[in-house]
Amino acid sequence: MSVSRRPGVGLTTLLLLFVSLTILATRCLPHPVGAARTFGKYEEKARSTADAALSEVATVDLAAHNAHRSFGPYLSTVISDAEEALSGLQGTFDSLQPPDERADAVQEDLDGVLSDALEHVRSVRTAVRRGELDALDHEAEPLADDADRLQSFSVEHA
C-alpha cells in the first residue's frame, strides 16, 4: 500500500504552528501598563508597544498571504484575535500620560502608525468575513508598510 503525499499539508501545518506560536508569544510580552514619569520610561513603553504591534501586523500579513492554504473560519479567528490585540495595545498606550512635550510627539507618532495598522487589519478581517479570500493579497498590501513603520519606530526609539 503506497502513501500519497500532499505537499501543501506540511506547509499549512507549519504555517498554523508559526501563527499559533506568534500569538502565544505576543500574549506573553510585557504590556506597557503603569505610570511613565520620565521620557525614557515613556519611550521604553512606546517601543514595547510598537514591537508587540509589529508582531500582530506580521501575523495578519502572513495569514492573508497564505489564505489559499487555510480555512476561512481559521483565518477569521487569527485575524480577529490580532485585531483585538492591536486595538488593546493602542488603547493601553493611549491611556499613558506623556510626561513632557517630547513624549507628546512620541505618542502622536506611534498613535498614527497604530491607527493606520488597525485600519488595515480591519480591512483584511472584513474581506475574510465576506469570503473574499482572492482579494486578501490586495487588502494586505498596506500591512508591509505598517510593519516597516513600526520597525522604524522601534529602532528610532531604541
d(Cα 151, Cα 54) in Å, to the nearest integer? 7
Looking at residue 23, its pLDDT comes to 61
Picking from 102, 99, 109, the residue whose alpha carbon sits closest to that of residue 49 is 109
Looking at residue 69, its pLDDT comes to 85
pLDDT, mean of each 10-residue run, the chain (158 residues) = 56 64 56 74 96 97 90 90 97 95 97 98 95 91 98 96
Looking at residue 15, its pLDDT comes to 63
d(Cα 133, Cα 158) in Å, to the nearest integer? 37
Picking from 16, 74, 22, the residue whose alpha carbon sits closest to that of residue 53 is 22
Provide CB contacts within 8 A for 111, sequence distance 6+. 90, 93, 94
